[in-house]
Structure 1
Amino acid sequence: MNIVTKSALGAVLAAASVVAPAVVAPAAAQSNERVAFVNVQAVVVNSTAYQTAQTQRQTTYAAQLQQAETRRAAIQAQLDPLITAFNTARQQPNADQAALQQQAAQIQQIQQNGQNELQQILAPVALSQAYVEEQIREQLGTAIQNAARAQGVTLVISPETILHAEASHNLNEATLAQLNSLLPSAQLVPPDGWLPAEMRAQQEAAAAAQVQAGAQQPATTGR
């Protein structure tokens, strides 16, 4: 899938203006060009696979979701009196600023620890979300190409580059139909040890750097 950015499109137009006096494309050829746009994120979240996974996740990961909600409520219950006491203390005419700073630091620490704890509880849910989205995006390029060919589109861009477009240039529905055909459903639970593509790339880069560093170590010789 070729994505043309606004800067790249500007460069193409600038180049075309330079050569226009010497080379003029035939009107028939120009009329055969058709541009359309696709909102990738909108297509992903509206796909059947994504929506089905969202529903299934509420059941499959019900234990983690309930645990997180219970823990969130407990953390908030711990914070509420501390926040009330802090607000009351700082409104006093001669408020102890050092004591206020200690109270604020305590509240922030509890909030940070709570956030970390909730992220840990919900880690399997987040991993499932990433797994489903990666499966969808693996088919997205093919879906866009199929939709473009079916409608005679020769250039597909993203909405961020558009200032105005008629509805006929919107390829979202056609792409969504193709994506649903290619991937009616996605696997919800990732296999053991699975990591998102970004983390896999980081691990591979770290491993390659380690191998390279080892190769550059001078060989030791015995005496």
Structure 2
Amino acid sequence: MKMIFKAAALALTPMTAIALTAVPAVAQSKAGIAVADLQRAVGTSTAYTTARTQMNTTYKPQIDAFNARKAAIDADLKTKSDALQAALKAANNKPTPAIETQYQTFQQAQQTAQAELQRLGQPIAVANAYVEEQITAKLSDALKAAMTKAKVDLVLGPDATVSYQPSVDITAAVVTELNALVPSVGITPPAGWQPGRQGQAGAAAAPAANPQAPKSR
């Protein structure tokens, strides 16, 4: 399942690279400093883990089709790559017009394969982004609540620190707050939904049809 989500995400702007810019800026630390891995908090929240389990079932045909096609493409590209390496070796590593043509054919095959896998993985990637966006919409509130309870006024990401004691890591506290704010999410995006444009499709259609806005779960 990890492979399909990782590969399918190539079709979209990554949603899980969550920045700490959501944290209110402070002039100086007055109460304390903490560390929080917000990406891990989202990924280990109950809503996210439950949604991923549901997606394994709901999108199983697409996932199986993607994995089967990817395995076939990988095998084909390996055969082409091995043939190219063998031809180059036979030519004493001296490019020839024939080898150049073979190399260009291999590159084209790679690009075609990537485009095909992106297309096949698009439904799963969009659904995963939809799940993440519903959770991250409450991430700032969850972080603020965790900061208040931990009595800290400055939070750093793990990558922004050289070393820290486990006691200053409030990631688990953020997860607890997320679980309370977003106990569950939907896994089927509304028609026309795109990452970062939540509600835009419905708003555009409202003047003509005035549809009821979908309720978040």
**Coarse TM-score class (shorter-chain normalised):** 0.7 to 0.9
Q: Which residue of 1 aligns with 2:53?
A: 55
Structure 1 residue 67, shift from structure 2 partner: 1.4
Cα separation, partners in 2 of 1:108 and 1:142, compared to 1, 3 Å: same
Cα separation, partners in 2 of 1:158 and 1:105, compared to 1, 3 Å: same
Structure 1 residue 74, shift from structure 2 partner: 2.9
Residue 2 of structure 1 is aligned with which of 20, 23, 33?
23
Q: Is residue 156 of structure 2 the alignment partner of residue 153 of structure 1?
A: no
Moved more, 147-156 or 115-124: 147-156
Moved more, 126-135 or 145-154: 145-154
Residue 89 of structure 1 is aligned with which of 82, 87, 90?
87
Amino acid at match of 1:58: N
- What CA distance in whole angstroms lies between the structure 2 residues aligned with 1:60 and 1:182? 25
Matches within 5 A, 1:98-117: 98-117=97-116
> Between Structure 1 and Structure 2, which shows a larger proportion of helix residues?
1
Q: Which residue of 1 aligns with 2:117?
A: 118
Contact 1:3 1:158 in 2 (8 A): no
Q: Which residue of 2 aligns with 1:66?
A: 64
Structure 1 residue 81, shift from structure 2 partner: 3.6
Amino acid at match of 1:2: V
Structure 1 residue 96, shift from structure 2 partner: 6.2
Structure 1 residue 3, shift from structure 2 partner: 4.9
Contact 1:3 1:157 in 2 (8 A): no
Answer with 1 or 2: which has the greater Rg: 1
| SS of alignment partner, residue 137 of structure 2 | helix
Cα separation, partners in 2 of 1:83 and 1:35, compared to 1, 3 Å: closer
Tell me the TM-score normalised to structure 2 length.
0.72
RMSD of aligned residue pairs (Cα, Å): 2.6
Cα separation, partners in 2 of 1:166 and 1:81, compared to 1, 3 Å: closer
Contact 1:3 1:156 in 2 (8 A): no
Matches within 5 A, 1:73-222: 73-93=71-91, 97-197=96-196, 200=197
Structure 1 residue 39, shift from structure 2 partner: 1.2
Structure 1 residue 181, shift from structure 2 partner: 1.2
State the identity as a percent. 36
Contact 2:23 2:144 in 1 (8 A): no
| SS of alignment partner, residue 156 of structure 1 | strand
Provide the aligned length of Structure 1 versus Structure 2.
Answer: 178
Contact 1:130 1:196 in 2 (8 A): yes
5+ residue gaps, structure 2: 1-21, 202-217
